[in-house]
């Protein structure tokens, strides 16, 4: 075949057409294989969502969102679970985000690139792949007993914070790295220090990417069950943690940090282990709301990325 392509053996138009036809065969084959592969993913997701809606759709109501769990499936709700999830996510965000961004900036902009930073980099990347239950074990020893935070919102938030820290670090580094060298050099050439360059240029230009990483990390954390069980979340909880906002000065209270809690996935797990089918419906409904929360966060990530990318052109 190759010989036919040399100028002295120029192919006849007819032979050329036959060849193109044969080449296009593999195009068609891949189009079919690719379509099937895509359908597997889409179909699985649709099946999952349809299943959740069919089982739990009827349970979703205002009452479901504002009730505590109950022995009676039809009176049970997820109030303590979603409030717990929100509070835990708050702690996770405030612990993982500053630490992760600072570490990412340090590794990318400040640290000298040598074998030590190489090892740290490999470790950070691999930490993202450590099974979450291992983080649970670590947190049980460190936060629950070691630092004496007990089985609290604080322990859970910090555990999940630790879990998503590598995700935040890696995405921060990638976002920072996408800022062109020319921008850094322009700032340095004007006499900017490293911190001025990072603060005035590198960070603002990579905000979109960093936020995307944070939100993807948080949407992983929101569904985590194993480490939360390991540190001892309650499965049945019929009260809310103390409110972070109080009516008396100083109006802000941190008591909720030390309160026992439950989260959405644990509430689901609890309901799933009941024999009555009515509770299965509750679990499906809670699952649906959890999916909506996650999809909402991902949508936010996409929107933020779009907004920040649109503003910045290199």
Partner 1 sequence: MDGPIVNAPLRPDVGATSIAEETVKAEVRELSFFYGSGMQALKSVSMSLAENKVTALIGPSGCGKSTLLRCFNRMHDLYPGNRYDGEIIIHPDGVNVLGPDVDPIEMRMRMSMVFQKPNPFPKSIYENVAYGLRVRGVKRAGLIDEQVERALTDSALWGEVKDRLQDQAYNLSGGQQQRLCIARALAVEPEILLFDEPTSALDPIATASIEELIAELRNRVTILIVTHNMQQAARVSDYTAFMYLGELVEFGDADDFFTNPKQKRTEDYITGRYG
Closest approach of partner 1 to the CB of residue 200, in Å: 7
Return contacts of 191-197, CB within 8 angstroms, 24+ apart.
194/109, 194/110, 197/109
Residue 180 sits in the site that holds partner 1 (CB under 8 A): yes
User: How far apart are the two ends of the chain, measured CA to CA in Å?
Assistant: 45
With CB under 8 A as the contact rule, the residue among 53, 128, 137, 183 that binds partner 1 is 183
CB of 177 to partner 1, least distance (A): 15
Task: Report how far residue 117's alpha carbon sits from residue 112's, in angstroms, rounded to the nearest whole number.
Answer: 7
| By CB under 8 A, residue 191 contacts partner 1 | yes
Task: Kindly state the number of chain residues that form the binding site for partner 1, as judged by CB under 8 A.
Answer: 23
Among 17, 72, 75, 113, binds partner 1 (CB under 8 A): 113
d(CA 55, CA 49): 10
Q: Under the criterion CB under 8 A, does residue 199 sit at the interface with partner 1?
A: no
Q: Does 312 bind partner 1 (CB under 8 A)?
A: yes
Q: Indicate which single residue of 182, 245, 249, 275 sits in contact with partner 1 (rule: CB under 8 A).
A: 182
CB of 314 to partner 1, least distance (A): 7
184 binds partner 1 (CB under 8 A): yes
Q: Which is nearest to 106 in space by CA: 85, 96, 127, 120?
A: 120
Q: Is 185 among the residues that bind partner 1 (CB under 8 A)?
A: yes
Binding flag, residue 178, partner 1 (CB under 8 A): no
- Provide CB contacts within 8 A for 94, sequence distance 6+: 157
Instruction: Give CA angle at 217 (213, 220), nearest 5°.
Output: 145
Alpha-carbon Rg for the chain in angstroms = 26
311 counts as binding partner 1 under rule CB under 8 A: yes
310 binds partner 1 (CB under 8 A): no
* For residue 250, cis peptide bond before it (omega within 30 degrees of 0): yes
Task: Determine which residue in the list 32, 40, 189, 245 makes contact with partner 1, applying CB under 8 A.
Answer: 189
Residue 177 as a binder of partner 1 (CB under 8 A): the answer is no
125 CB-near residues (< 8 Å, 6+ apart): 166, 170
Which residues sit at the interface with partner 1, rule CB under 8 A? 112-113, 180, 182-193, 196, 200-201, 205, 311-314
């Amino acid at each position: 075949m190759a010989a036919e392509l040399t100028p002295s053996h120029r192919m006849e138009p007819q032979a050329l057409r036959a060849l193109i036809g044969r080449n296009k065969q593999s195009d068609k084959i891949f189009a079919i294989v690719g379509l099937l592969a895509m359908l597997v993913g889409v179909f699985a997701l649709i099946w999952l969502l349809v299943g959740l809606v069919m089982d739990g759709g009827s349970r979703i109501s205002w009452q479901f969102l504002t009730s505590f769990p109950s022995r009676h499936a039809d009176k049970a709700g997820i109030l303590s679970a979603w409030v717990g999830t929100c509070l835990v996510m708050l702690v996770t965000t405030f612990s993982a985000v500053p630490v992760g961004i600072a570490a990412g900036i340090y590794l990318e902009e400040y640290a000298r690139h040598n074998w030590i930073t190489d090892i740290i980099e490999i470790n950070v990347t691999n930490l993202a792949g450590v099974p979450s239950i291992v983080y649970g074990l670590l947190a049980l020893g460190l936060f629950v007993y070691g630092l004496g935070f007990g089985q609290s919102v604080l322990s859970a938030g910090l555990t999940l914070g630790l879990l998503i820290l590598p995700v935040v670090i890696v995405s921060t580094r990638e976002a920072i790295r996408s800022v062109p060298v020319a921008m850094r050099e322009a700032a340095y050439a004007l006499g900017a220090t490293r911190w001025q360059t990072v603060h005035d240029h590198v960070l603002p230009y990579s905000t979109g990417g960093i936020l995307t990483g944070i939100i993807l990390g948080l949407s992983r954390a929101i569904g985590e069950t194993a480490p939360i069980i390991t540190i001892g979340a309650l499965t049945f909880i019929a009260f809310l943690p103390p409110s972070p906002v109080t009516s008396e000065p100083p109006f802000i209270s941190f008591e909720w940090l030390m309160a026992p809690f439950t989260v959405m996935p644990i509430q689901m797990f609890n309901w799933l282990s009941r024999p009555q089918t009515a509770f299965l419906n509750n679990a499906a409904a809670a699952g649906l709301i959890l999916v909506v929360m996650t999809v909402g966060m991902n949508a936010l990530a996409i929107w933020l990325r779009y907004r920040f990318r649109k503003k910045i052109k290199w």
